[in-house]
Amino acid sequence: MHAVSLQAPYLDTAADQLCFSLDLTERPALAEREVFVAGLAVRLRLLGASHQVFAGPVRETVACLPEAVRGLPTTYTRRLAGWTYGFSAATERLGPEEFSARVADALGRADEAEHSLCGVFPGSPEAVTAVVVEAGDERSGAGLAWRTWHSYPQDGHIVSTHSRLEAR
């Protein structure tokens, strides 16, 4: 799916402003897409303050949230009714050439993926939030995984996350 131009400035203006939650309801979305992966309806939502993914019992939010503690967990696991959810996040600061190459890679992955949503914020073609969802592989059983990328061209940061939802 090609990237959509988002009609609002992004609100999480630095990687260290991102927060993580599994307990929030819908936030106002700039773009939304529903896909079906591994038998589940998955809602991909791009926010002015990053993203939400709703899949089965999971309501993942990675965003700038004034009421939440800042920072993303390096790893996190939670058991939910019949499911195991895992999350990991990494923040990297890159030089201009490597930053541009990594943003182009994220845009390419989203463009080539069957189940994705990607938005470009006004002000820079490298201010991007992308979400790509895929079915779990045969070895891991029923489930799905998604990756996200959040880029901050003003300081060269890219935050990447990886989430897995597997039936138990």
139 versus 47: which is more confidently predicted?
47
pLDDT at 13: 73
Confidence band (pLDDT; 50, 70, 90) for 122?
A: confident
Task: Please name the residue that has the structure tokens 């990886």.
Answer: 162
DSSP secondary structure of 97-136: HHHHHHHHHHHHHHHH-SEEEEEE-TT-TT-EEEEEEEEP
Is residue 63 a contact partner of residue 49, using CB atoms and an 8 Å limit?
A: yes
Confidence band (pLDDT; 50, 70, 90) for 12?
A: low
Averaged confidence pLDDT in the chain: 90
For residue 50, which of 9, 85, 82, 90 has the smallest C-alpha distance? 9
If you average pLDDT over residues 80-91, what whole number do you get? Answer: 94
First to last CA, the chain: 31
Task: Please name the residue that has the structure tokens 């597997």.
Answer: 166
pLDDT at 11: 57
What is the pTM (predicted TM-score) of this model? 0.92
pLDDT at 7: 79
Is the pLDDT at 102 greater than 80? The verdict is yes
pLDDT at 49: 74
pLDDT at 138: 56
Is the pLDDT at 140 greater than 70? The verdict is no
Maximum distance among all Cα pairs of the chain, rounded to whole angstroms = 44
Tokens of 91: 């923040």
Q: Specify the 3-state DSSP secondary structure of 25.
A: coil
pLDDT at 94: 98
pLDDT at 83: 93
Is the pLDDT at 147 greater than 70? The verdict is yes
Confidence band (pLDDT; 50, 70, 90) for 5?
A: confident
SS3 content of the chain, % helix, strand, coil (to 5): 15, 55, 35
